[in-house]
C-alpha cells in the first residue's frame, strides 16, 4: 500500500512538472540567453531523471519511517535497524548521484559562465526565501543578500522547481 501511494505521488509530480517545463524553457531562453535547443536540452536533463529522483527521495522517506517505527519497539533488533539504514543510505546515494549527473550535464551544456550565473541566482533565491521565513519566525536571523525583482523571482521559482531546489 505504501508503494502505491509513493507511485501515485510520483505520477502527480510528473503531471505538474510537465506544465512547468514550458514556462522554464521560455524563461531560460529569455533570461539566461540560451538558444531554444539548449533550453530544451537543459529542461530534458532534469525532466528525464525527475521520476527516478522522486522515487529515490520517496524511498529515503519510507526507510526513515521504518527506522522510526523500529526504534519505537522496546526490543530493537540491531540487524533490522542496520538493514533499514543500509537501504536508506543506498537510496540517498542514488539520489545524490542523480543530482550530480544532472548538474554536470547541465553545466557542460550551458557552459561555466552561465552555470555560475544560474547557481548565483538560485543562491540568491534561497537567501531571499530564508529571509522571508525569518520574518515569519520571530527571533531568527536570516542571511543578507541582494533583493530580486519579480521577473527574476518568477524565473528562479520555476528553475528551483525544475532543479529540485
C-alpha cell read off for 49? 531523471
- Specify whether the CB–CB gap between 162 and 46 falls below 8 A: yes
- Specify whether the CB–CB gap between 102 and 46 falls below 8 A: yes
Tell which wins on pLDDT, 92 or 159: 92
Query: How many structural domains compose the chain?
Result: 1
Instruction: Give mean pLDDT, residues 76-90.
Output: 94
pTM: 0.66
- Specify whether the CB–CB gap between 88 and 98 falls below 8 A: no
Q: Which domain does 92 fall in, by range?
A: 2-163
Which contacts of 98-105 are long-range, i.e. CB under 8 A and separated by 24 or more positions?
Answer: 98/49, 98/52, 98/53, 98/56, 99/53, 99/164, 101/49, 102/45, 102/46, 102/49, 102/163, 105/45
Instruction: Give mean pLDDT, residues 118-124.
Output: 83
- Tell me the per-residue pLDDT of 52-63, one tens digit each, with 9 for 90 and over: 999 999 999 999
SS3 53: helix
- Specify whether the CB–CB gap between 154 and 27 falls below 8 A: yes
Lowest mean pLDDT among 18-32, 100-114, 115-129: 18-32
Amino acid at each position: 500500500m505504501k508503494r502505491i501511494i509513493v507511485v501515485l505521488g510520483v505520477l502527480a509530480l510528473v503531471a505538474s512538472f510537465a506544465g512547468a517545463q514550458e514556462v522554464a524553457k521560455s524563461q531560460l531562453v529569455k533570461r539566461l540567453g540560451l538558444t531554444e535547443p539548449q533550453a530544451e536540452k537543459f529542461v530534458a536533463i532534469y525532466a528525464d531523471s525527475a521520476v527516478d529522483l522522486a522515487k529515490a527521495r520517496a524511498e529515503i522517506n519510507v526507510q526513515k519511517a521504518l527506522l522510526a517505527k523500529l526504534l519505537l519497539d522496546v526490543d530493537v533488533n540491531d540487524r533490522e535497524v542496520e538493514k533499514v539504514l543500509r537501504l536508506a543510505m543506498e537510496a540517498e546515494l542514488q539520489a545524490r548521484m542523480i543530482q550530480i549527473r544532472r548538474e554536470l550535464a547541465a553545466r557542460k551544456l550551458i557552459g561555466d559562465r552561465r552555470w555560475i550565473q544560474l547557481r548565483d541566482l538560485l543562491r540568491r533565491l534561497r537567501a531571499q526565501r530564508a529571509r522571508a521565513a525569518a520574518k515569519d519566525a520571530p527571533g531568527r536571523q536570516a542571511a543578507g543578500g541582494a533583493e530580486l525583482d519579480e521577473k527574476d523571482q518568477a524565473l528562479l521559482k520555476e528553475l528551483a522547481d525544475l532543479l529540485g531546489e
